[in-house]
A and B are shown apart, each in its own frame.
Chain A
């Protein structure tokens, strides 16, 4: 009961903060709202037994990535008066409408799925979501190659960002 109440509170907060992200004219306000949304999502991950993902969400997302965003907003000195505003052309509105319709269809399809229950807690592995178990899943077999590819991707991204943002090499 208490857990359900917590879940609904945090999900309402997350959606509200998400709405704030796309409606604020000041980019800094959007960034702070996004951080709030990330924290609410981290709490939901923790409730779903994903302890490691919850910690990584706060460390990497709310910590590293959002600091990068806020740093760029600060460097460019973006304020409300140099925000370019909205693109409410018929095309964009139509695209958002069609996207919403597709989302609704997927949603109705998902609600018709047979079993919508979570696995009972007593049937769940007691080590579910711990760093040790994720480490075993990540490094034994199937996910080892994707993991190495991701490390190459991050290296390429770092080099790309330096090449793009530096005035002359």
Chain B
């Protein structure tokens, strides 16, 4: 990877993170919003691993493993909420959940 350098890896990471942000902000399907969050977490993981290779230390890998554990917890609770929402409303539309909207 020496001939590639750090910058292209960070560029891919930024592009994936941006795609995730756009997905979270513009989609109304709660499942696709959750998948966009996973995409953002993966983009961050790529940065962690790239910087670990850059410095030659393993702390980035440890953080990537932690991020994966948190993502698993988030997906579990998030999907339980989706099932609960669908049971009550028979929809997966995020715009339906506007009770707290000012």
Listed in ascending order, the chain A residues whose CB lies under 8 Å from chain B are: 1, 3-4, 7-8, 11, 14-15, 18-19, 21-22, 24, 27, 30-31, 34, 37-38, 41, 44-45, 47-50, 52-53, 56-57, 60-61, 64-65, 68-69, 72-73, 75-76, 78, 82-88, 92-93, 95-96, 99-100, 103, 106-107, 110-111, 116-121, 123-125, 128-129, 133-134, 137-138, 143, 146-147, 150, 153-154, 156-158, 160-162, 164-165
Contact = CB atoms under 8 A, between A and B. Distances in A.
A15 B12 CA distance: 7
A61 B18 contact: no
B69 A150 contact: yes
B1 A118 contact: yes
Given A87-B95, A106-B14, A138 B7 contact: no
B63 to A, nearest CB: 9
Contact of A38 (B6, B29, B42): B42
Given A11-B8, A34-B38, A164-B80, A137 B59 contact: yes
Instruction: Summarize A's interface: helix, strand, loop or mixed.
Output: helix
Interface residues of B, number: 74
B70 to A, nearest CB: 7
Contact of B49 (A50, A84, A88): A50
Interface in B16-70: 16-23, 25-29, 31-32, 34-36, 38-39, 42, 45-46, 49-50, 52-56, 58-62, 64-66, 68-70
Nearest to A44: B46
A12 B66 CA distance: 26
Contact of A87 (B26, B49, B76, B92): B26
Q: Which 9 A-B pairs have the closest CB atoms?
A: A157-B73, A22-B23, A84-B93, A164-B80, A84-B28, A161-B80, A165-B80, A11-B12, A18-B19
B102 to A, nearest CB: 12
Contact of A121 (B2, B9, B62): B2
A115 B44 CA distance: 20
B9 A143 contact: no
A120 B2 contact: yes
Nearest to A18: B19
Contact of B92 (A14, A52, A78, A154): A78
A18 B95 CA distance: 23
Given A3-B1, A21-B23, A76 B39 contact: no
B97 to A, nearest CB: 11
